[in-house]
Each structure stands twice: as C-alpha cells, then as structure tokens.
Amino acid sequence: MRLNPFVLVAAIVALALTPRPARADGLIVPFVGADFGGDAGNCEGITPCSSSQLAYGIGIGFMVGGVVGFEGEFAYAPHFFGEGDARGDNHVLTVMANVLAGVPAGPVRPYVVGGVGVINTDISQSSIGLFNAYSNNSFALNFGGGLMILFSAHVGVRGDLRYLRTLQDVNFPQFGFDNKQLHFGRGTIGVVFRF
C-alpha cells in the first residue's frame, strides 16, 4: 500500500493546527492542621484523656490553566481518638484521590475539592488491658475547599477545609463505634510549591 502524499501533507497540517493543551502547573503542598468535630478526639467519659487532634501530610497534584486538576493527598493524624492509657496508641491515615476546580484571579486562587480514597484506622492494645488491637481500611469520600495565595510564580500558601467520611461501617464498640461510619472535619494550612 502506497502512502498518498496529499494525505500525508493534510495530516501534518492538521497536527500543526491542533490547539496545544493548556499548561499544567504541578503542585506540592506539605501541610499541618487539625481534625475536628464528628469522631475526632472523642474523649467523652474517659479520664485522663487529651483530645488534641494534630494532622499533617502532603498533597501532590497539578492544575491545568489554574482551573481544573487532580490531587493525591496523604494525611496522618496521631492520637485521633484521644491520648491516654485508656485509648492506647491510635491513629488515622487518609489516602485520597481528588479533583480540584478553581478560579485563577491573579495570585489568589479559591478552589473546591472532592474525591474518594481510603481511611485507615489503627488502634494498638490498651496499656491497661481494656481492649485488643484493631486495624481497619474503609472506602471513604472527602470534599471541601480552600484558598491558595501565590507570593511568586513558584511559592505560596494554602488554607483548606475538608469533610471526610467512611462509606463503610466501622465496628469497634470499646471506642463507641458500633457499626457506624467514621466522620470528621479537617482544617489545614500549607506551603504551596508550584512548578
């Protein structure tokens, strides 16, 4: 089969005239914040128990033209269920795949975010023998929004609020989770590295 030169020229011209995709900005956002509300730090009726819900992690993703993009987010919350002898060593790890949608308005970029992933709950055995170790992975969703402020072409800050919820029941009666979905909010602030 011979290649028609007119077809070849037409294909090259069509390829040259095809619009180029918008530039994708890569984003790396290490963050720190706190989990709050819902099931975070539920120390009700437990003494001594501290309900400090530190959370930290990293978001890695991209936005095309500053309008729409994708983010993988990993966050870790030590002592999510409270800290004390009666709570053992516990934590929550979240791994989410999210879609971002924003409005680029110069250096200020409000955005909304949402997606699905996994929430891992891990509770080590109580040091005073009240319960055994427990670990669970549950499918989950998250949604929220925030604001990015860019100080230069490559560095800025991000404030973010999200709601997270498992889509499967968690069953751990010693902590008050008897076939119910885990849910909580998270507020974070992070440094934006844009490339």
Q: Is the Cβ–Cβ distance between 167 and 123 less than 8 Å?
A: no
Check: CB of residue 130 under 8 Å from CB of residue 87.
no
Pairing assessment for the beta strands 155-166 and 108-123 based on DSSP bridges: unpaired
Q: For 143-195, what is each residue's pLDDT tens digit?
A: 999 999 999 989 999 999 999 999 988 776 666 667 789 899 999 999 999 98
What is the Cα Rg of the chain in Å?
A: 23
C-beta of residue 119 within 8 angstroms of C-beta of residue 138: yes
- Per the listing, tokens 């790890």 go with 93
Task: Give residue 66's pLDDT.
Answer: 79
DSSP letter string, 64-107: ETTTEEEEEEEEEEETTT-BSTTT-SEEEEEEEEEEEEE--BTT
Categorize the per-residue pLDDT at 37 as very low, low, confident or very high, splitting at 50, 70 and 90. confident
Residue 128 has which token pair?
Answer: 């005073």
Distance CA 87, CA 122 (A): 11
Taking the C-alpha atoms of residue 147 and residue 58, their distance in angstroms, rounded to an integer, is 16
Q: What gap in Å lies between CA 18 and CA 195, rounded to an integer?
A: 25
Q: pLDDT confidence of 112, banded at 50, 70, 90?
A: very high
Task: Give the residues across from 193 on adjacent strands.
Answer: 28, 155
pTM of the model: 0.81
pLDDT digits (tens, 9 = 90+) for 60-96: 999 998 799 999 999 999 988 777 666 677 889 999 9
Burial class from Cβ neighbours inside 10 Å (0-12, 13-18, 19+) for residue 41 reads buried
* Cβ proximity of 111 and 146 under 8 Å: yes
Tell me: pLDDT of 109 over 90: yes
**What domains, with CATH codes, occur in the chain?**
25-194 (2.40.160.20)
Q: What gap in Å lies between CA 103 and CA 111, rounded to an integer?
A: 6
